[in-house]
Amino acid sequence: MADPLTRRQVLDLRAHAQQIGRPSGDPADTAVLDLGVQDTGPDGGLWALALRGVDTAALDGDELATVWTLRGAPHLYRRADLPGVAAATAPFSDADAGKRIYDASKPLRAAGIGNLEALDAVADAMRSLVTAPMVKGEVSTRLTAIVPEPHLRYCRPCGATHLYEMPFRLAALRAGLELEPGTSPPVLRPVPGLTPAAPVPPHLDVVRGYLRLLGPATPKLVAGHLDAPVTEVQARWPDDAVEVSVGGERRWLLAEDADRVDDVPPAAGVFLLGPFDPFLQARDRPLLVDDPARAKALWPVLGRPGAVLADGEVAGTWRPRKAGSSLTVAVELWTPVLREAVTEAAERLAAFRGVLLTDVTID
C-alpha cells in the first residue's frame, strides 16, 4: 500500500524543495531554475529568485536568460543551461506539438503539414530574420510575409493577419532566440551558437523537475503543467518514482524525496509570492486553496494578485499600488497573520523594487 502523506507534509516538502526563505544562494544552486521560473509582470522571475535567497542586484546581467518555453510563457533559466533547456522543453512528439500549439494545429493538419515540421519551418524563418535585436511586432510582420498561408490566421483584436501566437513563441527557442530582459513589447535577439543538447541533462528533465519541486504528483498533473498529452508524460515517467497517497489519491514522488519526507522541517516565515511564483504553479490547486471562492480570487482569468504565504500556507492575496517612487501594498487575509510579519514582507518587496513603502492595508 502506498505510504500516506498529509497535506501539511506536501506543503512543507514543496516549500523546502523550492528553497523559499533561504537566507542566501546563487543561480547555480537555485533549484527552481532547473524547471524554469516564469517571468511575468514586475514581480516575476527575479522576485521569485530573491525570495529564495538570490541577490538579484548582484547578478552580472549575463548569468540568466529569458526564453519562451513551457505554455509559451517567458521563463528564466541559467544561461549555461540553454542548450539543455532547448532540448528539455521541446515537444516530445508531433502529437505533443499539436497539443501545445492549440488551434494552430488544425489548418496545418488540413494542409498536410506536421506540427514539428511547422515549428521547424517557423524557426528557420525566424533565424534568418532575427540577426540582431528586433521587436516582436516587427518579427511577426516580417514572418507573415514569408511563411505560407496555413501558418497564418486573421486576428480580430489586431485587425490583421499574422502567425498563430503559440507556434511563434515555441519556435523562438528552436531558432536560437532569447528575450531581452525587461522589454515590453518583447525584444528578441539571437543567442550565438545555441543548439539543443543531446541528451537532455538529468537536472533539466521537465517530468523529474515537476516531481521534485511540485510533487507528489500524477502524470495528469505534470502533463497539465507542460501542456503535453498525458500519454507522453507516462512514457517518460521516472523509474525511481515511488507511489504515495495524498488524501486517498495515488500520487508519485522521486524515491530520494520520499525517503526524506519525515526529515523536512516545517515551512516558516511570511512571504509575498508573485502571481506566477513557482509555488503557485502546481496544478493541484485545491490542495493549495480548497475554498472555491478563494481559489477564484487567487487565480482569476485576468489580473492575478500575488499570494501571502505564511508558514507554507496560502493565507491571502496582495496587490501592489505604485505611484512614482512609493509603493502601497493592499493585502486581503483569509487567516490571521501578524501585521508586523506582513509589513516586513512588504518592505522587502519595496526594497527589491527600489521604492519606498508608504503603506500596507490589510482587510
Mean pLDDT of 77-81: 98
Mean pLDDT of 117-143: 97
Q: Over pLDDT 90: what percentage of the chain? A: 93
Write the pLDDT tens digit of every residue in 197-222.
999 999 999 999 999 999 999 999 99
Helix (H), strand (E), coil (C) string for the chain: CCEEECHHHHHHHHHHHCCCCCCCECHHHCHHHHCCEECCCCCCHHHHHHCCCECHHHCCCCCEEEEECHHHCEEEEEHHHHHHHHHHCCCCCHHHHHHHCHHHHHHHHHCCCCHHHHHHHHHHHHHHHCCCCEEHHHHHHHHHHHCCHHHEEEECCCCEEEECHHHHHHHHHHCCEEECCCCCCCEEEECCCCCCCCCCCHHHCHHHHHHHHHCCECHHHHHHHHCCCHHHHHHCCCCCEEEEEECCEEEEEEHHHHHCHHHCCCCCCEEEECCCCHHHHCCCHHHHCCCHHHHHHHCCCCCCCEEEEECCEEEEEEEEEEECCEEEEEEEECCCCCHHHHHHHHHHHHHHHCCEEEEEEEC
Write the pLDDT tens digit of every residue in 142-156.
999 999 988 988 888
pLDDT of residue 1: 46
Write the pLDDT tens digit of every residue in 301-351.
999 999 999 999 999 999 999 888 899 999 999 999 999 999 999 999 999
State pTM to two decimals: 0.96
